[in-house]
Structure 1
Amino acid sequence: MTSLSPRFRRSGFTLVELLVVIAIIGVLIALLLPAVQQAREAARRMQCSNNLKQLGLAMHNYHDTYQAFPSGYIHVNVADNKGHWTWSAFILPFMELGNVSDVLQVGKVKASDALSAHQDVMQAKYDTFICPSDTGPSVSSTSKCAGCAIENASGTNLGLSKTSYVAVNSSAYVRANQATNFGDGTTGATGMFFKDSDTRMRDITDGTSNTLMVAERAYILNNEWFGSSELFATRDKNAKGPDNHQHPDKANYDQGLYRTLCTTLFSPNITIGSTTSTNKAENHGMSSMHPGGAMAVFADGSVSFLPETIHSNTTGTTDTVMEYLGNMQDGQVIGAY
């Protein structure tokens, strides 16, 4: 029998050749996907940096208008579990959200009354207050912690709009009143934001480029709940203000102040339960889904990435770079971190 002429022969891949091609394509995809993910994270980190720049600019515009930065929260006489307006609610007009501020009448009516009248507004999503790398719901969960919600005027417990950003309260545990001794932070808040704070530029004696103003907090990091923060208000405990380390009825610190303010006592992205802290308050610090650290804005408006390798401790004295960054009057020179 004669063989077929070349023009009648079938062309194609053998099984071995096909398997080799598939293997090569698989390798290329495996190499390409991490690069795509890294590019996406770089874009998200840039957007987060832009959000913090906007927050820093809003803080400065607020200061120019009122000759002081907004208070960490404004204390008013409210019943247990009702809300106190916070710093992030007061800067809404300077974040191109003046319409939201006008509708809610921030600072003019009580937060819980505003929640009753405008629940949809106080549970909406505001992208400029959310890191695009962060996870979790856009409304804080009432099942996660008592302080993640406030009661409206009729006593219904409701979550609030989420934000990924918290103002810096102290170099030690979160406290409501300003420190009388800035050397250790045990007498009160050493940072810029606390109860009725109204901090001015001249109060930041360490210099605005050496003092943190606002930082990130993740919703969940390494399977541990950090909870991000609530945008508009912080929850009262027993009609004595939000829970904190100076609260007369302090216990668990889960009803209030750390939900909107943070400490620099811990390194960024610290593992919960990894310190000698007796109350395991590591989620009162700063954290993010960005690999290696968290973003923060300084009092001069500059934004920096703080690596999680910055040393911290819980000795009670201000003696680490992280603590220096959160203390506006410690008199310490901050080196490279």
Structure 2
Amino acid sequence: MARNGFTLVELLVVIAIIGVLIALLLPAVQQAREAARRMQCSNNLKQIGLALHNYHDTFGSFPSGYVDISGRTEVVDNKGHWSWAALTLPFMEMGNVHDLLNVGPASPSNVLDTQQAVMQSRYAAFRCPSDIGPDFSSTTECAGCCIQNGGSTELGHSLSNYLGINSSALARADQATNFNDGTTGATGIFYRNSDTRLRDITDGSSNTVMVGERCYRINTTDYLAGELFATRDYNGGGPAHRDRGGMADQGASRILVTTYHSPNKIWEHADSYPKWEESGLSSLHPGGVQVCFADGSVRFLSETTASNASGTTDTIMEFLGSMSDGNVIGEY
């Protein structure tokens, strides 16, 4: 009596069919996962926008981009200064973290001595699910991203993928003297000791980006996200060969971001290295980034959104980053 079974040819055909099905289904599965991650990222930005508005309702203005705790124009070298995100923690249902860090009365550098684990943890509310970067900044990859503790030891601290909008050109500590020229200072909502009110956003809250994404790395290009709790101010920034000394306030670029370039653009100069004070919006979402506008709405900005590096506010990206330039924004 003949035995039932597969021939070798039949087995190979079945394997080939399974392989084809996997090849067809895998991209769909990956797209579905990315769609879920993008939705979670959008929700994170919505919660941040809501928290910023609740802060505004409570204190009459949005939080400062960062607070110069030294009380002087030139801050203490390598020491930390609390960021807008640290000030917003109680409105993000993270009041316990705010209290542990003693945000305000204590300096970030001294808090690193007693709460290093808290300052180096990963906080999902400030991380895009698509980004696979580390929990906290690296002393080897980006020494300028770190701050000193009370014992003058350089330490990294928690990273964030969501940075406040500072300028339409170079990252600056102080406000612009000309909102149509981002090289004169910060044209955006956040800068050092800022106290921006909704009525100051004369271009309209629905036309002004307030918070945007920056990822840790795309392929071999380092963006290194941003610091969550604090910045080093003048002596901060990326690796030494990526800073342009005297051109901008380096540390502002570690917790704030500009709209100088289109999303995901590799910004390079003569030495072929990106410059940190020009570090723009970036993400691992295909085709662009997500941003939160000053009215709290979250939208997707395409990486083809028009920009240039002239410094003069004359492109859509620059219009979006400046809160009072008087320009009319068309379709983008």
Any gaps of 5 or more consecutive residues in structure 2? 239-243
Aligned pairs for 1:55-204 within 5 A: 55-77=48-70, 79-204=76-201
Q: Which moved more, 1:252-261 or 1:143-152?
A: 252-261
Once the two structures are TM-superposed, the CA of residue 136 in structure 1 deviates from its matched residue by 1.4
Pick aligned residue for 1:262 from 233, 236, 257: 257
CA distance in 2 between counterparts of 1:148 and 1:83 reads: 10
Once the two structures are TM-superposed, the CA of residue 11 in structure 1 deviates from its matched residue by 1.2
Per-residue Cα deviation, 1:255-298 (whole angstroms, up to 9, x for no partner): 5210110110100011242x789974376110000000000000
Cα gap change, 1:279/1:183 in structure 2, threshold over 3 Å: closer, same or farther? farther
CA distance in 2 between counterparts of 1:322 and 1:218 reads: 18
Question: TM-score, structure 2 length as denominator?
Answer: 0.92
2:241 maps to what in 1? none
CA distance in 1 between counterparts of 2:253 and 2:97 reads: 24
The number of aligned residues is 322
Per-residue Cα deviation, 1:224-251 (whole angstroms, up to 9, x for no partner): 110001110001446xxx569xxxx935
CA distance in 1 between counterparts of 2:247 and 2:5 reads: 71
Pick aligned residue for 2:3 from 2, 10, 23: 10
Q: Which moved more, 1:69-78 or 1:59-68?
A: 69-78
- Larger Rg, first or second structure (1 or 2): 1
Once the two structures are TM-superposed, the CA of residue 55 in structure 1 deviates from its matched residue by 0.4
CA distance in 2 between counterparts of 1:56 and 1:100 reads: 19
1:146/1:255 contact within 8 Å kept: no
Once the two structures are TM-superposed, the CA of residue 311 in structure 1 deviates from its matched residue by 1.3
Question: TM-score, structure 1 length as denominator?
Answer: 0.91
Percent sequence identity over matched residues? Answer: 62
CA distance in 1 between counterparts of 2:94 and 2:229 reads: 13
> Which letter does structure 1 place at the counterpart of 2:294?
A
Cα gap change, 1:321/1:206 in structure 2, threshold over 3 Å: closer, same or farther? same
Per-residue Cα deviation, 1:57-103 (whole angstroms, up to 9, x for no partner): 00000000000000101112253111010101000000000011111
Aligned pairs for 1:227-238 within 5 A: 227-237=224-234
> Which letter does structure 1 place at the counterpart of 2:46?
K
Pick aligned residue for 2:314 from 280, 297, 319: 319
Any gaps of 5 or more consecutive residues in structure 1? 1-7
CA distance in 2 between counterparts of 1:272 and 1:182 reads: 23
Once the two structures are TM-superposed, the CA of residue 146 in structure 1 deviates from its matched residue by 2.6
Is residue 35 of structure 1 aligned with residue 32 of structure 2? no
Q: Secondary structure at the match of 1:91?
A: helix
Aligned pairs for 1:169-318 within 5 A: 169-237=166-234, 250=245, 255-273=250-268, 280-281=274-275, 284-318=279-313
CA distance in 1 between counterparts of 2:167 and 2:195 reads: 15
> Which letter does structure 1 place at the counterpart of 2:297?
S
Once the two structures are TM-superposed, the CA of residue 254 in structure 1 deviates from its matched residue by 8.9
Per-residue Cα deviation, 1:192-242 (whole angstroms, up to 9, x for no partner): 00010110001000000000000000100132110001110001446xxx5
CA distance in 1 between counterparts of 2:21 and 2:203 reads: 52
> Which letter does structure 2 place at the counterpart of 1:40?
R
CA distance in 2 between counterparts of 1:155 and 1:330 reads: 42
> Which letter does structure 2 place at the counterpart of 1:118?
Q
1:277/1:314 contact within 8 Å kept: no
Cα gap change, 1:166/1:118 in structure 2, threshold over 3 Å: closer, same or farther? same
CA distance in 2 between counterparts of 1:183 and 1:89 reads: 30
Cα gap change, 1:146/1:237 in structure 2, threshold over 3 Å: closer, same or farther? farther
Once the two structures are TM-superposed, the CA of residue 24 in structure 1 deviates from its matched residue by 0.6
CA distance in 2 between counterparts of 1:281 and 1:255 reads: 10
> Which letter does structure 2 place at the counterpart of 1:59?
L
Q: Which runs of 4+ in 1 moved over 2 A?
A: 249-255, 275-283
